[in-house]
Amino acid sequence: MKAYVFPGQGAQFVGMGKDLFETSEQARQLFAKANEILGFDIQQIMFEGTDEELTQTKVTQPAVFLHSTILAICLGDQFQPDMVAGHSLGEISALVANKTLLFEDGLKLVFKRALAMQKACEAEASTMAAILGLEEQIVEELCAQINGIVVPANYNCPGQLVISGSFSAVEEACAKLTEAGAKKAVLLKVGGAFHSPLMESAREELAAAIEATVFSNPICPVYQNVTASAVTDPEEIKRNLMAQLTAPVRWTQTMQKMLADGATEVIEVGPGKVLQGLFKKVDRAFPCSSAALEIVE
């Protein structure tokens, strides 16, 4: 069974998607449509912009989404998923790929998500930190003891968990987790506390946009971040997506569930190979690859 997975923010690089644009007329049309929807030339920033331009949240999230979804669409009959999943932002890419969302609606939600998250980040000094080499339960228990907002945000793979919250609480948690035996506790260069209660204002904005968007029956199950389980009901998919911004990304559990449900290979659709690396942490021998167009138009 083929599992197609879609990366999130952080996978971007200057030049992403240019090969698609040069190869496929369909891709060129989709990029033009994206520029029209967004109201700026994202294609130019993706292909020829600076790292600084590309790492603005309002650019990064649509850029990663566009690379992933346009590639999936251009694969045509080569794209035959038995299951899909996406890491954080990548979940919306997965929902376009499995036909739950139209491309245009997915892009509008991603842009709304990016702007709402940016606004929430500016409201309070907040950050995230990667915790390496410590059991999940210990991280959860120590975060709960901190006087302030700090929570597990990304369960990325066994031995790698990201925490998120107010700056002071995350710093205190890092110190205590290091004392408890973490190999590393590293503050991340991010704009704010994603997947924490500090994203509540963004969650409310995005939830209203999701509520107003049509969600259709998918062609295959999506394994959602909030539950780490297969979902096909459009209303349930919608509810889980609404909860995502303030809930942890249960990616470790998602990978384990996909393997338990019969996935025999993983294909990453979009920039980078981050998700393939995470799957290898679960099962080193598991077949992983990057999606690529086989036919030049």
- pLDDT of 297 higher than 50: no
Average pLDDT over every residue of 103-110: 98
Residue 243: per-residue pLDDT? 97
Whole-number Å distance between alpha carbons of 157 and 252 = 5
Q: Is 156 left (phi over 0), alpha (psi -120 to 50) or beta?
A: alpha
For the purposes of burial, counting CB atoms within 10 Å of the CB of 260, is it exposed (0-12), middle (13-18) or buried (19 or more)? Answer: exposed
Closest CA relative to residue 1, chosen from 250, 220, 158: 220
pLDDT, mean over the chain: 95
**Band of pLDDT at residue 293, cut at 50, 70 and 90:** confident
Closest CA relative to residue 187, chosen from 163, 217, 212: 163
Q: Find the Cα–Cα–Cα–Cα dihedral 35, 60, 205, 109, rounded to 10°.
A: 50
- Does residue 117 contact residue 192 with C-beta atoms inside 8 Å? yes
Tokens of 114: 């990016």
**Band of pLDDT at residue 296, cut at 50, 70 and 90:** very low
**Band of pLDDT at residue 38, cut at 50, 70 and 90:** very high
- Does residue 14 contact residue 51 with C-beta atoms inside 8 Å? yes
Query: What CATH number should be reported for the domain whose range is 125-187?
Result: 3.30.70.250
Tokens of 26: 């369909």
Q: Exposure string (b/e) for 209-245, b if CB count within 10 Å is 16 or more?
A: bbeebebeebebbbbbbbbbbbbeebeebbbbbbebb
Stretch among 49-53, 106-110, 159-163 having the lowest mean pLDDT: 49-53
Average pLDDT over every residue of 97-106: 98
Residue 102: per-residue pLDDT? 98
- Global pTM reads 0.95
Q: Identify the bridge partners of residue 3 per DSSP, sorted by sequence position.
A: 83, 266
Say which CATH class 2-122+197-290 falls into. alpha beta
Whole-number Å distance between alpha carbons of 121 and 201 = 10
Identity of residue 167? F
Residue 248: per-residue pLDDT? 97
Domain residue limits, the chain:
2-122+197-290, 125-187
Tokens of 153: 């945000």
Provide φ and ψ at 213, rounded to 5°.
-105, 145
Q: Catalytic residues, which ones?
A: 88, 195
Identity of residue 35? N
String of DSSP letters for 140-161: HHHHHHSSS-EEEEEEEETTEE
pLDDT tens-place string over residues 200-246 = 999 999 999 999 999 999 999 999 999 999 999 999 999 999 999 99
Whole-number Å distance between alpha carbons of 73 and 93 = 11
